[in-house]
């Protein structure tokens, strides 16, 4: 495993605020352990990419960080607050400081583009109409969709909808933003725009960005630190430059996109599957 990014390769000092901290965390669904003994920390202004094969636990990690899934062991802190044993009200207060771009957008199909982006402002702030319009149009402009504000969701393309979701995730200027597959379904130009937008938000607003992605070139261009998960654990972490030099077979296969190697394609055999096979009378 490569060592975590050394501070000389990033723009942070040791005093830069840690906003997300996994300390030897194990995440599981019942008896099924997804990631064991994972340590990872994210600081203000940092862009962190979390990469790994399908089913390696990237979304699970985000669910834990947003308090949707408890940790099995270890300690998880958000904005310095441990999440274990946290009350609903306090968790909600922490969540207010986070933004999430969901993998499947989760937009409201019966609202127009403007109202989709305005939604979090209407729900969680007391801004007046003029302030809302100003913020929404500013964010739509950032994703190149100012002039699409009036369109219904049914009138925009899949890639445009992804950009609307991106504008909505950042409209409240959160301190910590999770992007689940932000480049999926985007054409190469929009991909570059989205990547640069994520980087510039972290630079300008000082927010921490956690980008869950399979996309190596885009994320390596903007990330300060990359974490690669697989085989139930953290396989490697470091700056894009240090990972590019890694000789670890898992890291190499993942970065080079080679079809054969240690990156699992098949979902692992479990007791639950074997039991299911018995009920079906088929071989595992």
Question: In the complex, which residues of this chain contact ligand ATP (CB under 6 A)?
Answer: 29, 32, 34, 52, 54-60
DSSP string for residues in 105-151: ----TTSBHHHHHHHHHHHH----HHHHHHHHHHHHHHTT-GGGTT-
**To the nearest whole angstrom, how small is the minimum distance from the Cβ of residue 229 to ligand ATP?**
7
Q: CA–CA separation, 93 vs 62, rounded Å?
A: 17
Closer to ligand ATP by CB, 32 or 108: give it.
32
Residue found by looking up tokens 């109202």 in the block: 115
Q: Identify which of residues 156 and 211 has a Cβ nearer to ligand ATP in the complex.
A: 211
What angle separates helix 188-205 from helix 158-170, to the nearest 10 degrees?
Answer: 0
Q: Which is closer to ligand ATP, CB of 34 or CB of 223?
A: 34
For the bound state, the minimum distance from the C-beta of residue 68 to ligand ATP, rounded and expressed in Å, comes to 10
Helices 158-170 and 113-124 meet at what angle, rounded to 10?
Answer: 20
Residue 243 Cβ, how far from ligand ATP at the closest point, in Å?
18
| Residue placing its CB nearer to ligand ATP in the complex, 34 or 166 | 34
CB of 282 to ligand ATP, least distance (A): 20
Q: How far apart are CA 165 and CA 139, in angstroms?
A: 11
Q: What DSSP assignment string belongs to 271-283?
A: HHHHHHHHHHT--
Surface-to-core class of residue 20, CB atoms within 10 Å of its CB (0-12 exposed, 13-18 middle, 19+ buried) = buried
Tell me the CA distances in angstroms from 181 to 56, 62, 72, 260, 265, one per residue in order.
Answer: 14, 12, 25, 23, 19
Give the helix ranges, DSSP H, for 143-247: 158-170, 188-205, 216-222, 240-244
> Would you say 34 or 201 has its CB closer to ligand ATP?
34
If the CB atoms of residues 52 and 99 are measured against ligand ATP, the closer one turns out to be 52
Burial class (CB in 10 A: 0-12, 13-18, 19+), 207: buried
Between residues 134 and 271, which has the closer beta carbon with respect to ligand ATP?
271
> Residue 264 Cβ, how far from ligand ATP at the closest point, in Å?
10
CB of 105 to ligand ATP, least distance (A): 14
Q: How far is CA 98 from CA 75, 121, 215, in A?
A: 19, 13, 23
Q: In the complex with ligand ATP, which residue's Cβ is closer, 30 or 87?
A: 30
Q: What is the smallest separation between the CB atom of 40 and ligand ATP, expressed in angstroms?
A: 14
Strands 98-101 and 81-82: unpaired
The span from the CA of 134 to the CA of 231, in Å, is 46
CB of 223 to ligand ATP, least distance (A): 17
């Amino acid at each position: 495993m490569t060592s975590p990014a050394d501070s000389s390769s990033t723009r942070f000092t040791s005093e830069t605020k840690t906003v997300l901290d996994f300390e030897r965390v194990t995440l599981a669904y019942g008896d099924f352990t997804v990631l064991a003994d994972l340590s990872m920390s994210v600081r203000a202004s940092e862009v962190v990419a979390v990469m790994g094969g399908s089913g390696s636990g990237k979304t699970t990690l985000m669910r834990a960080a947003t308090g949707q899934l408890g940790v099995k062991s270890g300690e998880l802190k958000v904005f310095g607050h441990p999440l274990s044993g946290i009350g609903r009200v306090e968790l909600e207060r922490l969540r207010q400081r986070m933004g999430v771009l969901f993998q499947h957008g989760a937009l409201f199909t019966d609202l127009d583009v403007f109202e989709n982006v305005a939604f979090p402002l209407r729900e969680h702030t007391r801004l007046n109409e003029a302030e809302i319009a100003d913020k929404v149009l500013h964010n739509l402009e950032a994703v190149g969709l100012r002039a699409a504000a009036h369109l219904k969701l049914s009138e925009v393309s899949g890639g445009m909808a992804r950009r609307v979701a991106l504008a909505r995730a950042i409209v409240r200027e959160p301190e910590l933003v999770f992007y689940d597959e932000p480049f999926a379904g985007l054409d190469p130009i929009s991909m570059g725009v989205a990547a640069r937008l994520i980087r510039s938000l972290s630079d300008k607003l000082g927010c921490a960005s956690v980008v869950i992605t399979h996309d190596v070139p885009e994320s390596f261009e903007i990330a300060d630190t990359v974490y690669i998960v697989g085989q139930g654990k953290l396989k490697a972490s470091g700056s894009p430059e240090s990972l590019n030099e890694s000789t670890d077979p898992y890291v190499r296969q993942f970065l080079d996109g080679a079809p054969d190697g240690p990156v699992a394609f098949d979902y692992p055999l479990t007791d639950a599957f074997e039991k299911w096979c018995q009920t079906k009378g088929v071989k595992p």
